[in-house]
Amino acid sequence: MKRSGKIFVVEDSLLDVQVIKDALLQRGYRVVGVAHSVEEAMPMIMKRKPDLVLMDITLKGEKDGIWAANQVQNHLGIPVLFLSGLLNEDLMERVLATEPYGFLVKPFNEKELYINIELALYKAEMKQTLDRSEQRFQSMIQVLPDILFCYDQEGTHLEIFTSDDQLLVKDASWLKGKKVTETLPDPLGGQILSVVQKALTTDTLQTLEYELTIAKGPRIFEMRVMASGENEAVAIVRDVTERKKAEEEMIYLRFRDRLTGLYNRDFFEEELNRLDTERQYPLSVILGDIDGLKLVNDVLGHPQGDSVAVEIANILSESCRDEDIVCRTGGDEFTVLLSQTDEADVRKIMRRIKRRCEEEMKNGKLTSLSLGSGTKYNKDKPAVQMIKDADDNMYRNKQNNRDQRLKELLEMMKAHPDYNEIENLKHINRLDRYGNSLEE
């Protein structure tokens, strides 16, 4: 395909200039300027911005065509095609150093000139395309949060691209040429090498998640590796630390009670299903219900009621074993799931809980708690029946000691710093009437 283009000619031979101009015009090119020396040519080239410069090497003036070609290509980005009738070894080295787009030895004919111009313009187009592609690639690297590594089959860093050097263990220039087993601690270096080699041998996508301490501190990275040639692989590495934290937070919020930090009902139900197996029997459950929490909320306010719930949560967590699953399953309801625990061991744990609650009540805390338990020894007893047994036991205990506990709570609430006699007059009268009925 013939290319039209603007050509500038730098030639000190008037005869050669005329021959070249005629040949160019014959082929449909535009000659946008002619100069006979470097000093004359440079300002004209800068102003007219041709697509290609035909440059003689030996010219009038102090500067030769090789010097001019270097300026034109490196600073103006315009391709140069050399014309010369003399080329020794020294000149050849200088010419090659400029990376010209072609070289024509005088004398040449019109066809040779045409072919070389077309090749030079084609190479210039390809270079522009590659430059744009490289610029686009570099722009993508700058805006993407990823690191791009190129490895050979031995895990050598061939190339490293990143917009943030702080994501690397050391700067890219230090890493380049070194093997991953040399730059990363064991066993991580070996793990990455194994992933790279597997990607090369299987020609499939390989992934790896790993932790690494860098300038930003301990971080979590996700690596995706794919073969990019027979003996080379490309790895995209992303810092997923914040994403992992967000995922953990979502999981925490899904399975945790916001007020107490204990597990919630959803988690309890999932764990109950998981632990309801022969290997975990006897499986037990303890139900706890805070005594008088509604009264605490009404008389002292919900913040104080929340404080009581937190105190109970702490007591349960400290009184139970590490393997026990302590949950808040309702506003005033707590549940403890205990695997491989029989009724005797459950009673010991419940005594510890009651003892701690009583100790806190002596210190003025409203930590009165009614407890009940249930146990299943095999799969014949449904889990729902075990929970019902615990609920029934807890309810009986709550009723048996209800009057005494409420009387104690009434006196403690009246002595509490948050108690306001005027604001709680309605509750006071009701509580006093109830307290008097308990004494009769």
Domain end position, chosen among 216, 243, 270: 243
Q: Do both 185 and 268 map to the same domain?
A: no
Helices 110-143 and 14-26: crossing angle, nearest 10°? 70
- Rounded-to-integer distance, Cα 28 and Cα 33, Å: 15
Is 322 a member of any domain?
yes
Residue 372: CB atoms within 10 A of its CB come to 21
Given a cut of 70, whether residue 431 has pLDDT beyond it is: no
- Examine the domain organization and report whether 59 and 148 are in the same domain: no
Same domain? 210 vs 274: no
Query: 1 in a domain, yes or no?
Result: no
* CA–CA gap between residue 147 and residue 308 (Å, rounded): 50
Statement to judge: residues 278 and 345 lie in one domain: yes
AA identity, residue 331: G
Region of poorest pLDDT, from 54-63, 88-97, 398-407? 398-407
73: CATH: 3.40.50.2300
CATH no. for residue 404?
A: 3.30.70.270
Q: Where is the domain boundary, 138, 157, 190?
A: 138
At 59-110, the pLDDT tens digits run: 888 888 889 999 998 889 899 998 887 777 777 888 888 888 888 888 888 8
Give a yes or no: residue 269 inside a domain. yes
Name the pairing type of β-strands 232-239 and 217-227. antiparallel
- In this structure, the answer to whether residues 148 and 130 fall within a common structural domain is no
C-alpha angle 102-108-114 in degrees, rounded to nearest 5:
60
Q: Which residues contact 388 (CB under 8 A, 6 or more apart)?
A: 374
Q: Give percent of the chain with pLDDT exceeding 90.
A: 49
Which pair of structure tokens corresponds to residue 303? Answer: 């913040």
Give the tens place of pLDDT for each residue, 187-236: 999 999 999 999 999 999 999 999 999 988 999 999 999 998 888 999 99
Question: Is 58:94 a contact under the CB 8 Å cutoff?
Answer: no
Q: Is the peptide bond before 187 cis (omega within 30 degrees of 0)?
A: yes
Would you state the structure tokens that stand for residue 176, as one six-digit string?
A: 């380049």
If asked whether residues 190 and 106 sit together in one domain, one would say no
Decide if 336 is inside a domain: yes
Residues 300 and 189 in one domain: no
pLDDT number for residue 260: 92
Domain endpoint, select from 138, 165, 187:
138
Q: Are residues 10 and 96 in the same domain?
A: yes
Residues 234 and 297 in one domain: no
CB contact at 8 A, 158 and 232:
yes
249 within a domain of the structure (yes/no): no
Q: Residue 182: inside a domain, yes or no? A: yes
Whether residue 379 contacts residue 278, with contact meaning beta carbons closer than 8 Å, is answered with yes
Amino acid type, 158:
L
Does one domain contain both 178 and 219? Answer: yes
- Residue 101 belongs to domain spanning: 6-138
Q: How far apart are CA 440 and CA 425, in angstroms?
A: 23
Name the more confident of 315 and 132: 315
Order across the sheet with 103-105: list the strands: 30-35, 6-10, 52-56, 80-84, 103-105
SS3 415: coil
> 48-57, 250-259, 371-380: which has the minimum mean pLDDT?
250-259
For the segment 344-362, what is each residue's pLDDT rounded down to a tens digit?
999 999 999 999 999 998 8
- The model's confidence at residue 417, banded by pLDDT at 50, 70 and 90, is low
Examine the domain organization and report whether 48 and 105 are in the same domain. yes
254 lies in some domain: no
Alpha-carbon distance 193 to 430, whole Å? 76
In this model, does residue 412 exceed pLDDT 60?
A: yes
pTM of the model: 0.53
The answer for 125, left when phi > 0, alpha when psi is -120 to 50, beta otherwise, is alpha
DSSP 342-369: -HHHHHHHHHHHHHHHHHHHHTT----E
Per-residue pLDDT at 1: 47
The answer to the question of residue 432 being in a domain is yes
Q: What is the mean pLDDT of the chain?
A: 86
Do residues 242 and 249 lie in contact, with contact meaning Cβ atoms separated by under 8 Å? no
The total of structural domains in the chain comes to 3
Q: Do 195 and 313 fall within a single domain?
A: no
Which range has the worst mean pLDDT, 7-16, 333-342, 423-432?
423-432
What CATH number has the domain bearing residue 195? Answer: 3.30.450.20
Kindly indicate the confidence band of residue 433, based on its pLDDT and cuts at 50, 70 and 90.
low
Q: For tokens 């210190």, what's the residue? A: 363
| Residue 426 in this model has a pLDDT that exceeds 60 | no
